[in-house]
Amino acid sequence: MQFTSEQRLDDGLLEREFTLGEIPGTLWTPQSAAPVPLILMAHNNGLPKAQPRLVARARRTAAFGYAVAAIDAPGCGDRPRSDADDRARAELRRAMQAGEPADEVFESFVGPLVERAVPEWRATLDALLSLPGIGGPVGYSGWTAVGIRLAAVEPRIAAAGFFAGGYVPRAQREEARQITVPLLFLLQWDDEGNPRQHALDLFDAFGSREKTLHANMGGHVGTPWFEVEDGGRFYDRHLK
């Protein structure tokens, strides 16, 4: 892992850009005399890690006393997209604009993204936990499809917060039954393009004995800001 820049922000957080091979990322850490727990913050594919809404969520979470890391998944931010990615995105847009069923298009698009993203997150986790000032346990926040696979294969994940507004491939819907860590699941009740019943069925499938569903009115990007505060309390219960 190589740090390429760093700056001390007005709220006291240290923000550092890094690269790990081809993976670009950002790490926010609070001022602390002791090692702090780590939260991996993954965004849905297509959004860059520098998107202002995502940065604001990461900084607020770090202010609760956590190291927070975000990376650009394959095809996100400045990372190049393959011809296959571009074709899949174009077919997805066409199907949705035509009002056609898009589940199979999503399946062929999101499934390969999960397969590529999860090994990168595991490599990033290895590198982050080797840094001074960062310790366990580890939490996850964000993209549900990637989070399910990561929590299923990565025993260092101790708690997870998932956003229901994204397609979850069949393989991850099955893997959800293996997830046993404490879970906070956020659902936007009127999320366009993401059927509510799919999210409810997925929540029911999780194997966690402690799982909480927060449902709020509004569309895909309307998650209330207070959910970041509630998320902080959730992580405090399970990571501190």
Rounded to two decimals, the pTM is 0.91
**pLDDT 10s digits, 18-45:** 999 999 999 999 998 899 999 999 987 6
| Vertex 153: Cα angle to 45 and 2 (nearest 5) | 60
Per-residue pLDDT, 75: 77
Cα–Cα distance for residue pair 158/208, rounded to 1 Å: 11
Cα–Cα distance for residue pair 184/231, rounded to 1 Å: 8
Using alpha carbons, list the distances in angstroms from residue 129 to 11, 61, 147: 24, 18, 18
**pLDDT 10s digits, 115-149:** 999 999 999 999 999 999 998 899 999 999 999 99
Cα–Cα distance for residue pair 3/19, rounded to 1 Å: 7
Distance, first Cα to last Cα, the chain = 26
Strands 14-20 and 2-8: antiparallel
Contact call for residues 107 and 170 (beta carbons, < 8 A): yes
Per-residue pLDDT, 45: 60
Phi, psi of 96 (to 5 degrees): -70, -40
Classified as helix, coil or strand, 162 is strand
Q: Computed from CA positions of residues 186, 192, 196, 199, in that sequence, does the dihedral angle turn out positive or negative?
A: negative
Per-residue pLDDT, 232: 94
Contact call for residues 140 and 181 (beta carbons, < 8 A): no
Tell me, what DSSP letter sits at residue 177?
G
Per-residue pLDDT, 40: 97
Token pair in block for residue 152: 């299923």
Contact call for residues 187 and 214 (beta carbons, < 8 A): yes
Per-residue pLDDT, 47: 66
Token pair in block for residue 33: 């005399």
Local mean pLDDT, 10-residue blocks, the chain (240 residues): 94 94 95 93 75 90 96 81 75 72 74 91 97 93 94 97 86 95 94 84 95 90 87 95
Per-residue pLDDT, 158: 97
